[in-house]
Amino acid sequence: MVHPPNIVVLLLLVTTIISFGCERDDHQTTDYDDIGRDRVAPNHIMETSDAAPPMLPKAMASSISQPVPNVKNKESIRSANKTLSVENKPSASTKETATSVSTNRMIIRNGSIRVSVNEIEYSIEYIKNVVADLGGWVVSYSNESALSGNVVIRIPSEKLDDFLNIVALHSDEVISTATNSMDVTDQYIDNTSRLLSLETSENALITLMGKTSSVEQILKIRKELKTIQADIEALKGKIKYLEQSSAFSRVDITLNLTPKTLTINSGEDRRTAVGKLVRLKALFQVPNGSEDFTYIWDFGDGSPLHYGERTAPTNDPNQRTTATVSHVYYDDKDSPFIAKIELTATGDAGIYKGEDSSIISVTRMPTIEVFAGDYIESEEGEEVSFEASFTRPPEIQSISYKWEFGDGQDSDIVKLSEKESRIIQTHTYKDHRSYPYRALITVYGETESGTVEGIGEVVIQVREVPGWTIGGLDVVDTAKFSVRSLSAVGYGLLSALIWIVILSPIWATITAAIWFGVRYVRRRKHTNRS
């Protein structure tokens, strides 16, 4: 029989041992749900079809049937003078594992790879067969779309690099690949040390409980034992997670359907000017079964990309054209620019991609300065002579001009010779007016980047021709004034008559009301007198 004070002392001793063992890993947490979920029997793998995998081509089958070389991981340890080689193998017991870790590092290696393939479903089946041959298993896979798929697998860590090489070898293109490593040796040693301490405490409590007959002491020991056993199970789970994670690498494989070639034409090379709109569109062949189209324009000047989806049919049913895109180049410093279009077509036939580019040469447009002449005075019916001059920059290839005289009469567009820089033109104004006419001359210059214009203006005051005078009076002007006055009086009388006729119902109503009102008043007065 154990004396109660001795039991208390033993309980305090066990509690101290437990506290000492737990202090070393208070802040270490590990999520081992993934491994626990993944390492379930293969019946739990997410399968979307019960059909047997198709037979592989002989070339592919031979590549995975050959023995895979044993690849060992080389990891750099904290000491710069020492490099250790590790083989990640699950240990037989906790003590043996703790001993082996003292000489080998425990490394968790995972990887990911993104590739393009010709057929998503076939590629998934091929990967499943490769994984099985290498001693791994498929965690999950999906191929809801014919354009992409995803596979998650577990593979022995020493075969991770071989698996990535096999996937890359049998893909059309490797878009990206990555691996990462994490040294968990210290964490593993801490967990195993804590586990040993807790197991020692567990055995001590079990021995103590068998030597006491006090119900109270037994209940205390059982409570403490329950806590210790819960900690032991948690530590075993963490240790198992580290062992399995180091032994089997997780690999995420993303599969994209390899695009087929799409024929597209962005148009001819062109020239434009700084600040001027340039319009771009592309013609492309329509693949059979393609329904959706998206394209991206890169104008080559650093401006934001232009995304579009609108297309239009052409006279050829096998061709379509993209919507017209307008763009302005505001600088010619880096000219010429390369305008590039990338177009993607999707549908039942798969993915089609095509690209094309055009060279856009951007220049600064020359300026034409025009002087149309000074202020001109003339009489109606008199011929007016206009004389204009203009500058002629060397970039201009040809010159033409056009006069707008301001009275509704315009001249034709006249082309000048190479050396001409003066324009002489005549015009007759038939009618005078109180305010002046404004004549405009537009000079057009043709360059490689387009047409430039220069405009000049001249003011013309056209007077009325003097008429006959008698006694200082202009007979014609007087007659015109008289006619205008009589016309104004007649217009006023006519307007008054029209308003009277229009408002006659109102006037008639008012007149009738007044007449009846007067009669009523008179009758009342006559009645009162009687």
| Size of the chain, expressed as the number of residues it contains | 530
pLDDT at 477: 66
The verdict on 267 and 347 lying in the same domain is yes
The verdict on 30 and 140 lying in the same domain is yes
The verdict on 459 and 475 lying in the same domain is no
Domain assignment present for 528: no
Cis ω on the peptide bond leading into residue 317 (within 30° of 0)? Answer: no
The verdict on 188 and 244 lying in the same domain is yes
Separation between Cα atoms, residue 175 and residue 399, nearest integer Å: 57
Count up the domains in the chain and report the number. 4
Domain assignment present for 527: no
User: What are 438-455's pLDDT values in tens digits?
Assistant: 999 999 988 877 788 899
The verdict on 29 and 128 lying in the same domain is yes
Q: Which residues of the chain have pLDDT under 70?
A: 1-103, 467-477, 480, 530
Helix, strand, coil in percent for the chain, rounding step 5: 35, 35, 30
Domain assignment present for 515: no
* Tokens at 438, concatenated: 């404004």
Pairing of strands 248-257, 148-156: antiparallel
Kindly report whether the global pTM for this prediction surpasses the value 0.75. no
Task: Say if residues 148 and 120 touch (Cβ distance below 8 Å).
Answer: yes
The verdict on 49 and 179 lying in the same domain is yes
Task: Quickly list DSSP for 426-487.
Answer: EEE-----SS-EEEEEEEEEEETTEEEEEEEEEEEEEEPPP--EETTEEHHHHHHHHHHHHH
Find tokens 């195993």 and name the residue: 192
Pairing of strands 260-261, 325-328: unpaired
pLDDT at 5: 46
User: What are 13-50's pLDDT values in tens digits?
Assistant: 545 544 544 444 444 444 433 443 333 333 333 433 33
The verdict on 241 and 96 lying in the same domain is yes
What CATH number does residue 300 fall under?
Answer: 2.60.40.10
Of 186, 220, 255, which marks where a domain is finished? 255
The verdict on 145 and 249 lying in the same domain is yes
Domain assignment present for 326: yes
The verdict on 157 and 221 lying in the same domain is yes
At residue 392, what is the residue type?
Answer: R
Burial of 241 per CB tally in 10 Å (0-12, 13-18, 19+): buried
Of 225, 255, 285, which marks where a domain is finished? 255
∠ Cα 272 278 282 (to 5°)? 120
Domain assignment present for 129: yes
Inter-CA distances, 262 with 223, 322, 348, 356, Å: 74, 14, 15, 10
The verdict on 410 and 381 lying in the same domain is yes
179-197 burial code (b ≥16 CB/10 A, e <16): eeeebbbebbbbbbbbbeb
Task: Quickly list DSSP for 23-51.
Answer: GGGTT-----HHHHHHTS-GGGS--S--S
Domain assignment present for 516: no
Q: What residues make up the domain containing 375? A: 370-463
Inter-CA distances, 416 with 392, 395, 409, 421, 444, Å: 12, 16, 21, 8, 10
pLDDT at 472: 56
278-296 burial code (b ≥16 CB/10 A, e <16): bebbbbbbbbeebeebebe
Inter-CA distances, 22 with 190, 193, 331, Å: 10, 10, 70
Domain assignment present for 350: yes
Task: Say if residues 432 and 464 touch (Cβ distance below 8 Å).
Answer: yes
The verdict on 350 and 375 lying in the same domain is no
The verdict on 359 and 376 lying in the same domain is no
